[in-house]
Amino acid sequence: MSSTSTHPPRTEPMPANLRRAVHQLVAEAAMNLQDVLRYTEPDVGQDWRRMTLYRSTDAADTVDMAALLIAAYLEAAGGNVQDVRQHLQCSQQQIRADGPRESDRRRAAALLGRRPMPELPGDGEEDPWHLWTQACLHGLRARSSDGLDSLDSFLPPHIAQMARRVAEALAEPQPATA
């Protein structure tokens, strides 16, 4: 926290009603992200052009709703508006209506083989963190709506196995520890 702030750091937990609302929005965003991954699979991707854009923008909008809800709550509870805007990182926001940036176009050209692929941090389909993230999203979806059998219908076996373990771990909710 900056030295110019007039409020000491707060350590109290998030209020239960806000916590429930944020959890709901994050779960909805995760479901949309899982759909994005699902539409990338070869045997499901017949409508990938439309559905990956719909679901990724749905996820982005839902995450924005979560951030704005938290910001509105903090403001309504007497928080400093300038601090809230700073924590929202408004200066980093790219407006989707502006369309793809030049860096997005360069990466797309590389994916089409029209220019060399730029190096990105964490690039690589077999990156363990990418695989784990996919498994978590698929496992969450399977646990909440689709069922464990859905994992075998469209996922590569190694991701399906990890997703099944995630879904099984979610079967018995554990209380949060401080």
Residue 127 within any structural domain of the chain: no
Give the residue numbers spanning the domain of 82: 15-96
**Residue 175, pLDDT above cutoff 70:** no
Residue 30 within any structural domain of the chain: yes
Rounded Cα gap, residues 55 and 114, in angstroms: 27
Q: What is the mean pLDDT of residues 21-46?
A: 89
Q: Total domain count for the chain?
A: 1
Rounded Cα gap, residues 109 and 34, in angstroms: 26
- pLDDT band of 15, cuts 50, 70, 90: very high
Residue 112 within any structural domain of the chain: no
Identify the pLDDT of residue 2. 44
Predicted TM-score (pTM) of the model is 0.66
Q: Which of 65-94 are b and which e, b meaning 16 or more Cβ less than 10 Å from the residue's Cβ?
A: ebeeebbebbeeeebeeebbeeebeeeeee
Rounded Cα gap, residues 108 and 114, in angstroms: 9
173 vs 44 pLDDT, higher one: 44
Q: How many degrees, rounded to 5, is the angle at CA 36 between CA 163 and CA 131?
A: 35
Looking at every residue in the chain, the average pLDDT score rounds to: 82
Residue 38 within any structural domain of the chain: yes
Residue 62 within any structural domain of the chain: yes
Q: What is the mean pLDDT of residues 142-154?
A: 71
- pLDDT band of 59, cuts 50, 70, 90: very high
Pair of tokens at residue 13 = 């937990």
C-alpha dihedral (129, 134, 137, 141), degrees to nearest 10: -150
Residue 142 within any structural domain of the chain: no
Identify the pLDDT of residue 107. 84
pLDDT in tens, 86-117: 999 987 787 888 888 888 888 888 888 887 76
Q: What is the mean pLDDT of residues 133-156?
A: 75
